[in-house]
Structure 1
């Protein structure tokens, strides 16, 4: 089919759209949209390979998504090789899971028809305009993404088949009405409670720390007092973006560039055509005869769109009367393209054209001539391009000069900075994990924490931070990793021991209070010792914000037979919590019961899905072919 011969350039919009397509399925896998062109497998699952190319593309796609979402935070994580190795492994594990699901679906004989695939494509919002499927948009986005339409359909069919398996597992569980009602009753139940909390500060003032306790804590927690190796550096940044501010571009420069590169500002001719495709089938001569007959009919003035709808093997274009939308050169099959661009006038019909996919009858429906952008439209863009080019020339010129000076005068970066009129910046002491943003680059960190580099205290070579950013550094101070002395951490130890003792004393006091309450004693005087009184909360819901979340969580763990609990609060305070009454729900809304039943059934289904996948992995023959280095 002609869809197989359409390919376009990849672009940001297409990648975004494909992301939306992937998200439109519950268990859509990253890797199933990726063609595997490598013969070297990353893993083998029951004899079927997952290529290294598939893994690499899935890894790069997911990494780009993470970088877009997390920004600098992900860059910090990505500087850790162990993290990236685990990240890559998680992607491979996902691809393995997808492969196992595909194999199980095939074993069960699950199938997706052509009509189901077509309906799925028509329902994807990314391919719709004003809520209606738009073939123009579909064809354009698929071409921009670098896919062939048939490959996209095949991948989508695989996703839909996998979705069938998911729905089998998710949709076969159910929840009894009594289960749902019981669950909803527990969710909507409220409780009456009272509590009293004493601050550890009330007891901290009476705490004393002995030398023996201090020494013992220091010895028992010696690992907590180890410091990381730290360096202080001087450095010089050279960036193309900074140099762009220093270069000048004249109007004459811009105009000359425009005249010399006019082709860059022309939109090539595009044509719009409709076609009828007759596939070869088992009898090429019969196919040719049929195509010739249709051409003869078309040349009599018959409705070409109707002929295409009734006869074309290209199902998607046939839906639209054979319309192929706009396309330029180097998109279609060479023979098809030559015939289309050889037609002179709108409405002309070609002779029968043979391609590797069958015989075509082509009708030219529109011509979009070459369009040239006016100078005023592009002059600012050209100016920026010229500035960047001039800055890049300076960048490489400065790099050479600065590298020479960094080597010739090794104990200072001042001469290096002077070349480009830059400043020598200095950092505070930092470790690998606390590097400032300017220096948080793996190449830079490996250099400044190199033992030889630290010992020599000389200028580095030019370190590439990115394609348009390099750096020269030298270590000016260094501290070895060491264990802090007891004297250095005495204040921290005393603070921690004071906190522990104060909390213990507060808890001991609260235990006595709990016993008194359990015995029915009047505790008013005991509470007055610390100026405390009971705090009463009525009708506390499971998700209510009226009570501290920690106390609320513990409240719903209590029962009428075990109604009191001492709670150590996150801030060090200690509370006595008492359940006084459980308030059941009298009536339940049937719609809420149904919603709860659906959620419970879905949760059971998800558990089943996870369990089935775990069993498939346990029973599968999975072989990791080679280690994948994180890039």
Structure 2
């Protein structure tokens, strides 16, 4: 038996089999069979060797290709940056669900892939970023400048306050990578140009004038012909996506509305005490119109961060005192006070005691037009400007009684609102799966909403913050109560999803009438288009005027139209200018669907713009716009073309 085994394993066939087994061991190594490998990349870029750019992507030549992985950490960093940017841009309208969609995540990943491709391209072509270019780029960053010039101390201080802190070397490496990512695309974009001939032609087209005749066709009679069951079935099958019920939720909620709370009773003793406080704060009753710039400092800020904020406030104060300085513009560009930033820092008229202590003391010690800062408060550092001073006369107690009572009642209502809201939140957190026990304990009412979609509904369902919370995964899946949602001043709600219906296809029996209406509407649309086609065909043979007269329709003329003409309508003018010019003595005609009805039109005359009337400045502006647009198109085309030289694999399940 052993002799037979030896004979079977010593022939040429056995030798060939052994040779085939050696190949994978040579490429993979024994460790590939002895250990497991877990891939964590979100995208893998395979690049052919530089000495064989056309190397095929086939085994075993693929082992010559260079592999570049984009790992999950780099992707998550890019994703978080995009999330923060979108939140800042969209504010309350930010839609977390839309941002987390697979389509949006893939779009963000594609930008990261493109950046990595540009890095590979620069390395492949042996392009380097010099130290001088890095230094120049850093020197242009405004945050590192003092009085318009780069400041080394400020540069190092701000890097140390990053989370996590950065060294100059690591920041310079990051800047170098960014310059390398952008080097080739930006140079391609900057290389775009427009010739004088191209510019002249474009200006003639943009300033073109047209004379048009047109006919508005009446809507055809409503379709009342029979619709068979087979037609209904076929339409429903072909347009199934149109007959879906959208995703809906239904809520229960408890609201605390400060305006509906009973005002507290105010006695004379409290009124007199308040009056004496007012007199002590502002004996003369002076008022001041004040603007400010706030450089916010977080409560847990480090000493370095506090010093940086103070330095920035001092710099802004110096800039505000400079001759001709625009305080409002500085506030809009730099203030961290979201309430006054858009108004140029304007806080309106203030009475003594209307602001925190140090701010109040400074403002009421200043002269009209004076700028003072930095002034420290619990919120950070302020630069203060007194715009106007209004001298006042102290009012008597009886004159101020109504205002004092209103102020005390408002303060008492605010306190009652805050206390009630706090108690409600505490009670709900003890039993987050129902609002009823907490509401009952506090004498509040649990209300419900009708089912509504992501576009909103009546009442609180129209508030964007309520919509975001209602359609969040946590509330829809867990059935627990939300955190308090502020939907207005002293107006808060807590909500809980009590019913959730995902998007679903509606059965034919339920939408039969809608299907029949859609078929009738389609027939009516086709009839309208057929009538327009018939008129257009007749007009091409004998002219629009004759064809319209034969059909009993009126022709209207629109002369000397330009691209921005508002009449007969923006849609119609766009259709007129999309029509090619007449050639070979043929009439230039077209049709368009305008506002639900068809229009047939004829281009009677075209006149180019007189470019001799265009100023040099207008030519320069147009040249820059076209060059920029052309450059961006060339840049995008280069990036798309670069993808063809690489093999890119995306791990969709890791996004």
- Normalised by the shorter chain, which TM-score bucket? 0.5 to 0.7
Please tell me whether residue 573 in structure 1 is matched to residue 592 in structure 2.
no
- 1:559 is aligned to 581
Please tell me whether residue 224 in structure 1 is matched to residue 242 in structure 2.
yes
Q: Is the 8 Å Cα contact of residues 191 and 539 (structure 1) preserved in structure 2?
A: yes
TM-score by length of 1: 0.56
Please tell me whether residue 147 in structure 1 is matched to residue 166 in structure 2.
yes
Q: Distance in 2 between matches of 1:271 and 1:400?
A: 36
- 1:158 is aligned to 177
TM-score by length of 2: 0.55
Residue 396 of structure 1 deviates from its aligned partner by 6.8
Q: 1:60 to 1:524 in 2, by over 3 A?
A: same
Residue 170 of structure 1 deviates from its aligned partner by 2.6
- 2:638 is aligned to 612
- 2:216 is aligned to 197
Q: Distance in 1 between matches of 2:650 and 2:303?
A: 48
One of 121, 132, 139 as aligned partner of 2:138: 121
Residue 513 of structure 1 deviates from its aligned partner by 3.7
Please tell me whether residue 66 in structure 1 is matched to residue 90 in structure 2.
no
Residue 516 of structure 1 deviates from its aligned partner by 4.5
- 1:429 is aligned to 451
- 2:437 is aligned to 415
Q: 1:546 to 1:121 in 2, by over 3 A?
A: farther
Q: Is the 8 Å Cα contact of residues 189 and 584 (structure 1) preserved in structure 2?
A: yes
Q: Distance in 2 between matches of 1:41 and 1:98?
A: 16
**In the comparison of the two structures, how many residue pairs are matched?**
452
Please tell me whether residue 398 in structure 1 is matched to residue 427 in structure 2.
yes
Q: In the TM superposition, what whole-angstrom CA distance separates every residue of 1:105-160 from its partner, at most 9, and x where no partner exists?
A: 23333333333333333333444456444556545544444433332222223323
SS in 2 for 1:415: helix
Q: In the TM superposition, what whole-angstrom CA distance separates every residue of 1:218-267 from its partner, at most 9, and x where no partner exists?
A: 6764653343465544344799xx99x99xxxxxxxxxxxxxxxxx7999
SS in 2 for 1:569: strand
- 1:86 is aligned to 103
SS in 2 for 1:71: helix
Q: Distance in 2 between matches of 1:158 and 1:509?
A: 62
Q: Is the 8 Å Cα contact of residues 270 and 326 (structure 1) preserved in structure 2?
A: no
Q: Distance in 2 between matches of 1:397 and 1:612?
A: 58
Q: Distance in 1 between matches of 2:647 and 2:240?
A: 46
- 1:29 is aligned to none
Residue 64 of structure 1 deviates from its aligned partner by 1.6
One of 495, 518, 541 as aligned partner of 2:562: 541
- 1:52 is aligned to 72
Q: Distance in 2 between matches of 1:539 and 1:445?
A: 55
Deviates more, 1:512-521 or 1:422-431: 512-521
SS in 1 for 2:187: helix
Q: Is the 8 Å Cα contact of residues 503 and 574 (structure 1) preserved in structure 2?
A: no
Q: Distance in 2 between matches of 1:387 and 1:219?
A: 59
Residue 578 of structure 1 deviates from its aligned partner by 0.4
SS in 2 for 1:576: strand
Q: 1:417 to 1:538 in 2, by over 3 A?
A: same
**Mapping 1:136-285, distance limit 5 Å:** 138-145=155-162, 146-200=165-219, 203-204=220-221, 207-212=223-228, 215=232, 221=239, 224-228=242-246, 232-236=250-254
- 1:296 is aligned to none
Deviates more, 1:191-200 or 1:170-179: 170-179
SS in 2 for 1:568: strand
Residue 596 of structure 1 deviates from its aligned partner by 5.4
Q: Distance in 2 between matches of 1:387 and 1:510?
A: 69
Q: Is the 8 Å Cα contact of residues 218 and 486 (structure 1) preserved in structure 2?
A: no
